[in-house]
Amino acid sequence: MEYQFTIIVPLYNEEENLLRVEQELSKYLAKAPINTCVLFVNDGSTDNSLELVEQICTRNKDFKFISFEENRGLSAAIKAGFDHSTTPLTGYIDSDLQTDPEDFDLLLEQIGEYDLVTGVRTDRKDSFKKNLSSLIANNIRRSFTHDGMDDTGCPLKVIKTDYAKRIPMFKGLHRFLPAMILLQNGKIKQVPVRHYPRIAGKAKFHLMNRLVGPFIDCFAYLWMKRNYINYKVVRKNE
């Protein structure tokens, strides 16, 4: 089968969620509008996640995995997924399943005209503190990037893979994917998606790394913007 869409699933110590991830993504793959595969990226988990991922991939031909030697963070896991994707389209979803794989269809409907389509979580099921910190972080980021996106932390995105592979990722840059597509003169769009409470496992982000980290990363983005190299080949000798 020739796949057209790769769903990246970054994970770190998510053993309590992985069988549900297998079930929900298997259901989605069976009715996805295009041929789709799943790529787990194990970010150096210290629990039983890697063993479970290996079992899942053994019994599902459309599921693959890569595993880090040690924990390197969400941005590294997403970059590794981009690097190993071989399909024209790449997306990702968090292993906590607070977003619904079926909502990939909403993003795929728009991706033809755009280079990145991201979900924006409606009626968020997180705590007041988490929602407030995300709101503040998004406002800070938007004031630096002017990307017009309301929820870049939404863990449901679809991106054209050739654009994804040109993103010079650094720690924290997963929050700036729309802005990095704009640096490539690409087009971006946000689409409302459903959101659910986390029912298993532990959240990996807290107040400090939702606010302090993104604020510092904004200055890294400004440096990147000033120094970003963008070109388009219009002619070459084969």
* Pairing of the two strands 36-42 and 63-67: parallel
Q: Which domains does the chain have, with CATH numbers?
A: 5-227 (3.90.550.10)
pLDDT at 227: 77
Residues of the chain with confidence (pLDDT) below 70? 123-146, 198, 200-213, 238
Q: What is the pLDDT of residues 54-84, one digit of tens each?
A: 999 999 999 999 999 999 999 999 999 999 9
Q: What is the pLDDT of residue 153?
A: 78
Which residue has 């679809």 as its token pair? 158
pLDDT at residue 134, rounded to an integer: 63
0.85 exceeded by pTM: no
Measure the CA–CA gap between 71 and 65, rounded to whole angstroms: 15
Closest CA to 115 of 157, 148, 87: 157
Which residues on adjacent β-strands are paired with residue 6?
Answer: 37, 90
Centre a 10 Å sphere on the Cβ of residue 220 and count the other Cβ atoms it contains: 14
3-state secondary structure of 36: strand
